[in-house]
Structure 1
Amino acid sequence: MQTITIKNTRHSGYRRGGLVFQSGDNILPLDQLKPEQLAAIKADAVLLIKQAPTTTASHPQGAMVQDRVDSAITITEAFDLLETANTEHFTSKGLPQIDALEQLLGRKITAAERHSAWQSYCAEQEQAL
């Protein structure tokens, strides 16, 4: 079953797109999300897409599970999940916020690690154009 992990940074019972989120990680079946629900989740600064769609063991229909998908995302994948217009995701100087990256990665990072990875990421993006 394809699932997506969404981290709710607020209280349990937070609602968005007709869904109720528990505090922390929520694993949702991707095939049960409508495009407009996914868009609402992506646009909400309180909800972070922590894990891109992944295949995991089946969960009861509609269940929001408080565990993590075993596979971690890379810092480059985390950059792709951040929204440039969101001030909780990017600094005023256009750098990804360390807190937002740490939430997505599930680990601590340094400013130097972020800076180095960001420079490489931007260079790759320019070459792709």
Structure 2
Amino acid sequence: MSKVLVIYAVAALAGTFRRAGTTFTTEGVAFPEGHFSPEQLNAINAEKRLSVREVEASAVPETVDTRLLEAAAARKANEKGQAQKGEGNAPTVETLDQAFALLDPSNRDHFTGNGLPQLDALSRLLARPVKAAERDPAWAEFVAKQSATNQQGAE
């Protein structure tokens, strides 16, 4: 049996809390193995407003959001099917930051006229639906990180 992390936001305003580039809910979110980097896991485990539980994949409570588990299972099945067919590797990623890094700013299929990543492009890369409410804060954080990195490199 495989184990997954179920993380709950504790006493969060509006039922959600963000840490390590991820939104957590009071209902809980299940994450597949390898979803977080060691640094992100350290930040999550150190956060007093999050409750982290490791459970068997088959024992995830019904109220927990399992979309990431389903997407990971679908991605794994898709990769297996592509490997059997010998097809090319369409890139898939685990995080919005990874997806943002793969987008081409000069490609209209990747960015809106307002300079935001296209939801369809992100959804294809992540192999799951992405909504503006998830994309917008993550994009702002990504742009801020890129700007800080570029400023440090210029110094």
| TM-score for the superposition, normalised by structure 1 | 0.47
TM-score, normalising length: structure 2: 0.39
- Structure with higher strand content: 1
Relative contact order, higher structure (CA 8 A, sep 6+): 1
Structure 1 or 2: more helix by fraction: 2
Larger Rg computed on CA atoms: 2
